[in-house]
């Protein structure tokens, strides 16, 4: 079937977070809007986000939470702030609740609340959403012709590439967005997995399943550090702190393994003094009892073996060097990241369309007028906590503002 006799104001490629919000905003004005989605359902990644609960924004959205030109993020957040995001979903009819660290979730605790209100609002407009329509080519002439895999084509004045990244291929992630952007003149910064577990050379499998609140840092430039929970796994570490340094580690892995340091007592301001005082009080205790109340028992056992402390001797009877090294290790346990868990576990991709080729105010391509690029397809990424979805909404919103002003 060929639909090129009908002219759309905008064809949006991808009904994910940024595409749906962009479509909704474009359709609020009398623009003729078509959304093409390759999957049978829209918003599949939204549905798996936040463990199915969808952490859709964060009170602390600010340029520092992103790895992208801060002028760009600042420009987006000025027009679609945290408060704007809450007001937006409120207007769509969704209640929400704020949890620790400013993370916001739907009150129903289900990501379906987010996709349902977006779908319902879109259905109330005159926009057309077609699923099972993978866009395989976009041709630029006087207008754009958008071709889908099943042989359809659509004529449009504007195109929005809202295809997302290649992360999580089991739920809609694909390379197609990069290919389409490239075919229209863009350069792609090589995508790499991020917000994914860190594979360590050292064997921590004895600690599998154990959680610890730590400060985790990586020897990378610029420095990367996160305080929060880690979860030991059979391959290394996962959990919020590991995820939040994973993007920086992912970039640095190109130059070889990356050293990381785990501080198990991030609350301490002067660890040396703390341990010297503790030695005065508890020098008579055996190592296991000395660390009781400080560390998880399994971490203590690994520490004792790692540093060669004698289990049946008191701390006062151990070699002073071994004691000193043990205390240092508690606040600076070394690890070596050899890789990140792959695309099937990475929540996002870093890299993507080069931001230098994008107009920061409009999200319009500088290579191809009337082409707009939004969301994770761009080379911008946030830490975990609702920042990536906020970026997707904000970029979709700003692109729609530019399109509807035309």
Ligand X SMILES: Cc1cc2nc3c(=O)[nH]c(=O)nc-3n(C[C@H](O)[C@H](O)[C@H](O)COP(=O)(O)OP(=O)(O)OC[C@H]3O[C@@H](n4cnc5c(N)ncnc54)[C@H](O)[C@@H]3O)c2cc1C
> Applying CB under 6 A, which residues contact ligand X?
13-19, 36-39, 44-46, 48-50, 54-55, 134-135, 162-164, 167-168, 172, 174, 176-177, 347-348, 375-377, 386-389, 392
DSSP H helices in 62-175: 70-79, 82-92, 112-123
Which is closer to ligand X, CB of 36 or CB of 309?
A: 36
Letter string b/e over residues 151-165, b meaning 16 or more CB atoms within 10 A of that residue's CB: ebebbbbbbbbbbbb
Which is closer to ligand X, CB of 337 or CB of 392?
A: 392
* Shortest Cβ 50–ligand X spacing (Å): 3
Which is closer to ligand X, CB of 67 or CB of 176?
A: 176
> Three-state SS for 21?
helix
| CA torsion, ordered 47, 48, 52, 54, to nearest 10 deg | -70
* Shortest Cβ 71–ligand X spacing (Å): 21
* Shortest Cβ 369–ligand X spacing (Å): 21
| 152 contacts: CB under 8 Å, gap ≥ 6 | 1, 2, 3, 133
What is the rounded distance in angstroms from the CA atom of residue 237 to the CA atom of residue 230?
6
* Shortest Cβ 20–ligand X spacing (Å): 8
Give the nearest residue (CB) to ligand X: 16
Which is closer to ligand X, CB of 162 or CB of 323?
A: 162
What is the rounded distance in angstroms from the CA atom of residue 65 to the CA atom of residue 358?
20
What is the rounded distance in angstroms from the CA atom of residue 14 to the CA atom of residue 392?
12
> Three-state SS for 4?
strand
* Shortest Cβ 152–ligand X spacing (Å): 12
* Beta bridge pairs of residue 212: 230
Which is closer to ligand X, CB of 73 or CB of 392?
A: 392
* Shortest Cβ 39–ligand X spacing (Å): 4
* Shortest Cβ 277–ligand X spacing (Å): 42
Which is closer to ligand X, CB of 102 or CB of 266?
A: 102
Specify whether the backbone of 13 is left (phi greater than 0), alpha (psi in -120 to 50) or beta: beta
Which is closer to ligand X, CB of 148 or CB of 326?
A: 148
| Phi, psi angle pair for 10, to nearest 5° | -150, 135
- 31 DSSP 8-state letter: -
Per DSSP, the chain holds a count of helices (H) and strands (E) of 12, 20
């Amino acid at each position: 079937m060929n639909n090129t006799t009908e002219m759309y104001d905008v064809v949006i490629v991808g009904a994910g977070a940024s595409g749906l919000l962009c479509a909704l905003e474009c359709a609020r004005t009398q623009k003729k809007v078509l959304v093409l989605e390759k999957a049978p359902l829209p918003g599949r990644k939204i549905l798996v986000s936040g463990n199915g609960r969808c952490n859709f924004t964060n009170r602390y959205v600010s340029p520092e939470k992103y790895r992208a030109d801060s002028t760009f993020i600042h420009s987006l957040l000025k027009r679609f702030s945290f408060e704007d995001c809450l007001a937006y979903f409120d207007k769509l009819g969704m209640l929400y609740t704020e949890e620790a660290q400013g993370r916001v979730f739907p009150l129903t605790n289900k990501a379906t609340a987010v996709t349902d209100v977006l779908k319902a609002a879109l259905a109330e407009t005159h926009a057309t959403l077609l699923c099972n329509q993978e866009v395989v080519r976009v041709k630029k002439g006087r207008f754009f012709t958008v071709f889908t895999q099943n042989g359809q084509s659509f004529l449009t004045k504007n195109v929005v590439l809202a295809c997302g990244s290649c992360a999580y291929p089991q739920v809609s992630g694909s390379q197609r967005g990069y290919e389409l952007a490239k075919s229209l003149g863009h350069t792609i910064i090589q995508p790499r997995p991020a917000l994914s577990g860190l594979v360590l050379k050292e064997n921590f499998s004895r600690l599998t399943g154990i959680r610890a609140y730590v400060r985790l840092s990586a020897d990378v430039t610029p420095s990367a550090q996160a305080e929060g929970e880690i979860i030991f796994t059979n391959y290394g570490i996962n959990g919020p702190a590991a995820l939040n340094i994973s993007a920086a580690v992912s970039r640095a892995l190109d130059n070889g393994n990356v050293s990381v340091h785990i501080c198990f007592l991030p609350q301490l301001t002067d660890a040396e003094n703390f341990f010297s005082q503790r030695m005065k009080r508890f020098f008579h205790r055996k190592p296991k009892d000395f660390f009781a109340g400080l560390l998880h028992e399994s971490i203590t056992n690994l520490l004792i073996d790692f540093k060669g402390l004698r289990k049946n001797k008191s701390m006062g009877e151990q070699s002073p060097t071994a004691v000193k090294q043990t205390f240092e290790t508690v606040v600076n346990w070394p690890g070596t990241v050899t890789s990140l868990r792959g695309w099937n576990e990475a929540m996002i991709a870093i890299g993507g369309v080069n931001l230098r080729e994008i107009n920061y105010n409009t999200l319009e391509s500088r290579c191809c007028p009337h082409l707009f690029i939004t969301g994770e397809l761009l080379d911008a990424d946030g830490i975990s906590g609702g920042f990536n979805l906020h970026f997707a909404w904000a970029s979709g919103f700003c692109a729609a503002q530019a399109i509807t002003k035309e």
